[in-house]
Amino acid sequence: MNVHSYEKLWLVAAMLLIVGFIATITYGSVGIGIAMIDDSQETIDPNEISDHEDFGDPGVEQVAENEYEAHVVARSFAFRPDPIEVPANSDVTFYVTSGDVIHSFSVVGTNVNTMVIPGEISSMTVEFDDPGEYGVICNEYCGSGHHGMESQIQVVPENEFDLTELAVEADESVAADGEVTLTATVTNGLVETHETTLEAEIGDETLEEEVTIDGSDSEAVTLTVDAATLGEGEHDWSVAVDGETERGDVTVGSDADTDTEGNDD
């Protein structure tokens, strides 16, 4: 049988195409760095996300030296937290879930891309070497605000990264001869000991306090100023540590209503 040479050529081309298709499909399911979402993943009730111990207050936590976990919640049309701050030279495992419809968590310029399905927790581990910024976008059409659904991953230098939280308790009013006391509780979410400086302003008074907090622990720092130094009236206060700030005000004197007309001080 004589097969025309053009026919042979087309036959070979068709075979190559078929082999090519099979190869890409195989790579797409088992290739290095490619993982599919399957039923082996953890599940979650999308209506109970706010009560979930990790997704209720999503964010980054340290689990070991240079190892972090980031819990992210996707909802029409935003990601929480935004931005997601992680340190350089770290391995970060992202756990992402959705509170409503199907979204995606795609890190622009990388092969990090996963569907985010309500009820499912998608996870993937990403290595961040150098400081930088990455955009995060939603790749699944999820509604009218889909095109604007984005977040950011900020990879900060290791020595600038902290997981500090601040809570301040303060009196609302103090007697004129009393003391204004602020109790600042500083929590260190890192595994390692963290040294930092607490800065406070009460009225015109500035206070500074060095704090050393053990890993995964918290320290309470008490700051006091004599009410007499501040004078009667309402005074603003602020306490700041590692970029976290708490504010409030305190009234000195029994007569809280010190409406001093013409006082432009």
Query: Of the listed pieces 5-13, 20-28, 86-94, 134-142, which binds ligand CUA according to CB under 6 A?
Result: 134-142
Q: Is 239 in the site for ligand CUA (CB under 6 A)?
A: no
Tell me the closest approach of the beta carbon of residue 149 to ligand CUA, in angstroms: 4
Is residue 96 a contact point for ligand CUA (CB under 6 A)?
no
Smallest distance, ligand CUA to C-beta of residue 76, A: 6
96 or 138: CB nearest ligand CUA: 138
Considering only residues 54, 91, 140, 246, which one is a binding residue for ligand CUA as defined by CB under 6 A?
Answer: 140
**Closer to ligand CUA at the Cβ: 105 or 237?**
105
Distance CA 55, CA 185 (A): 23
* Cβ–Cβ < 8 Å for 239, 168: yes
* Shortest reach from residue 43's CB to ligand CUA, in Å: 20
Show Cβ contacts of residue 97 under 8 Å, excluding neighbours closer than 6 positions.
44, 46, 49, 55, 72, 73, 74, 116, 117, 118, 119, 120, 121, 122
**Residue 120 or 162: which CB sits closer to ligand CUA?**
120
Indicate whether 235 belongs to the interface with ligand CUA (CB under 6 A): no
Under the criterion CB under 6 A, does residue 249 sit at the interface with ligand CUA?
A: no
d(CA 234, CA 259): 10
Beta strands in the chain (DSSP E): 60-64, 67-75, 78-80, 84-87, 90-98, 103-107, 113-116, 122-128, 132-137, 150-156, 164-170, 173-174, 179-188, 194-202, 205-213, 217-226, 233-241, 244-252
Do the strands 103-107 and 164-170 form a parallel or antiparallel pair, or are they unpaired? unpaired
Least distance CB 113 / ligand CUA (angstroms): 13
**CB 71 to ligand CUA: min, Å:** 17
Identify which range of 105-113, 124-132, 138-146, 257-265 contacts ligand CUA by CB under 6 A.
138-146
Q: Binding to ligand CUA by residue 165, rule CB under 6 A?
A: no
Report, in Å, the least distance between residue 137 CB and ligand CUA: 8
C-alpha distance from residue 24 to each of 28, 109, 121 (Å): 6, 21, 27
Interaction between residue 124 and ligand CUA (CB under 6 A)? no
CA-to-CA separations, 175 to 105, 126, 254, in angstroms, rounded? 54, 55, 6
Distance CA 219, CA 184 (A): 8
Contact between 71 and ligand CUA by CB under 6 A: the answer reads no
Q: Does 170 bind ligand CUA (CB under 6 A)?
A: no
- Binding residues for ligand CUA (CB under 6 A): 77, 103, 138, 140-142, 146, 149
